[in-house]
Amino acid sequence: MANEAADAQAYPMRGVSQPAREQTLNLPQVHISRHPVIAHKMTLLRDKRTAPPAFYRTVRELGALLAYESTADLKLEPVRIETPIEPMTGSELAGGVGIVPILRAGLGLAEGFREVLPDAAVWHLGLRRDERTLEPIEYYNQLARSNNLQVCFSVDPMLATGGSAIDALNILKRYGVPHLRYVALIGAPYGLLKLREAHPDVPIYLAALDERLDDRGFICPGLGDAGDRQFGTL
Ligand code: PRP
Taking only the tens place, the pLDDT of each residue in 173-188 is 998 899 999 999 999 9
- Look up residue 161 and give its DSSP letter: S
Asked if residue 12 has its Cβ within 6 Å of ligand 1, the reply is: no
Asked if residue 157 has its Cβ within 6 Å of ligand 1, the reply is: yes
Phi, psi (5° rounding) for residue 93?
-60, 135
User: Which domain CATH number covers 108?
Assistant: 3.40.50.2020
Integer Cα distance of 231 and 234 in angstroms: 8
- Binned at pLDDT 50, 70 and 90, residue 9 comes out as confident
Burial 166-188 (b: 16+ CB within 10 A, else e): bbbbebbeebebebbbbbbbbbb
Q: Whose CA is nearest to atom 10 of ligand 1?
A: 160
CA 77 to centroid of ligand 1, rounded, Å: 37
* Atom from ligand 1 closest to the CA of residue 105: 20
Domain count, the chain: 1
Asked if residue 184 has its Cβ within 6 Å of ligand 1, the reply is: no
CA 182 to centroid of ligand 1, rounded, Å: 14
The answer to whether the pTM exceeds 0.85 is yes
Q: Whose CA is nearest to atom 2 of ligand 1?
A: 158
Decide if 152 contacts 54 (C-beta within 8 A).
no
Q: Whose CA is nearest to atom 3 of ligand 1?
A: 158
* Sign (positive or negative) of CA dihedral 49, 55, 59, 61: negative
Asked if residue 227 has its Cβ within 6 Å of ligand 1, the reply is: yes
Residue 194 has pLDDT above 80, yes or no: yes
Q: Which domain holds residue 119?
A: 2-231
Each residue's pLDDT tens digit, 12-38: 999 999 999 999 999 999 999 999 999
